[in-house]
Structure formats: structure tokens, C-alpha cells
Amino acid sequence: MKVSRWQCAVLAFVVTLAAPYATWLSVAHAQSQSTMDTSGSILTRPMSDSVEPTAGDAVGAGFMNVVYVPGKAIICGLSTVASAGLLLITFGTAYTGATKVFKEGCHGDWVLTAEHVSGAIPKPNYDYLD
């Protein structure tokens, strides 16, 4: 597809004319979004303080696991190598540091569930690093 200079000039002119109206459009869009009924949407939180997982949480957990599980395996492998290296370099005297490095990479859940995403399962406490 060949685009001429004339078409580019017209497009640039139209964009220049439309730029001042962008803020008006965003305000109108925000007002229309606030008046929309989203009660049946799986992406909105329930009105109560419930942390029961929804179908959206399950779908989100599935998509996040595509990156989370291999990432967790890579980080755990690297922390295992680092803690073994730390033990070799210090001849075993830095075992508490090696344990902390290992736990940082391999501790915790390896698969995210809908309960994790919804907040029903609290985030892990990293007191072992103190």
C-alpha cells in the first residue's frame, strides 16, 4: 500500500484538530463508565468484603501460571546453584546465608490458584529473612 504525502498531511491536520478535544472525550468516557451496570461482570469485585474466588480469578491464575511456574523453576535453580556456591566458597561456614538464599528462591507455592488471586490465601510472610 502506497501512502502519498497529501494523505499524510491530511491525517496530521485531522489529528492536530482533534487533540484539544481529547480531554473532553476522556471526561465523557469516564462519566459513561461510572454509570454502566457491571453487576454481571466477572472482572468486578463483589460488593461485600468477601474474598471468595470468582471465575475471573481462576482464569487470571491460569494465565499467570504460564509465566509464574517456569519463572519459579528458573529462580529456584539459580538460588540452588548460588547457595551451593556460597557453601563451597566459605567451606560450609555460611550455611545460614546459603539457607536464606535457597529459601528465597524455592520457598512458597509453585502454582497459583484462584484463591491466591482473590486474596483468600494471604501473601507469604518472609520472616525467615530477618
* Residue 16, in any domain of the structure: no
pLDDT given for residue 23 in this prediction:
60
* Residue 123, in any domain of the structure: yes
* Residue 77, in any domain of the structure: yes
**pLDDT tier at 88 (50, 70, 90 boundaries)?**
very high
Amino acid at 30: A
80 with 105: CB under 8 angstroms?
yes
Predicted TM-score of the model (pTM):
0.53
Interval 18-76: pLDDT, tens: 766 666 555 555 555 555 555 555 555 555 556 677 888 788 888 888 888 888 889 88
Q: How far apart are CA 93 and CA 54, in angstroms?
A: 48
pLDDT given for residue 103 in this prediction:
85
Mean pLDDT of 1-10: 79
pLDDT given for residue 49 in this prediction:
59
Domain count, the chain: 1
Mean pLDDT of 83-99: 89
pLDDT given for residue 89 in this prediction:
92
Give the 3-state secondary structure percentages of the chain, helix then strand then coil, rounded to 5: 65, 0, 35
Determine the structural domain holding residue 67 and report its residue range: 52-129
| Secondary element (H or E) of residue 102 | helix 95-106
* Residue 26, in any domain of the structure: no
* Residue 102, in any domain of the structure: yes
* Residue 96, in any domain of the structure: yes
pLDDT given for residue 63 in this prediction:
84
The torsion defined by the Cα of 32, 38, 44 and 50, in degrees rounded to 10, comes to: 130
pLDDT given for residue 31 in this prediction:
59
* Residue 18, in any domain of the structure: no
Q: Which of the two residues, 67 and 123, has the higher pLDDT score?
A: 67
* Residue 87, in any domain of the structure: yes
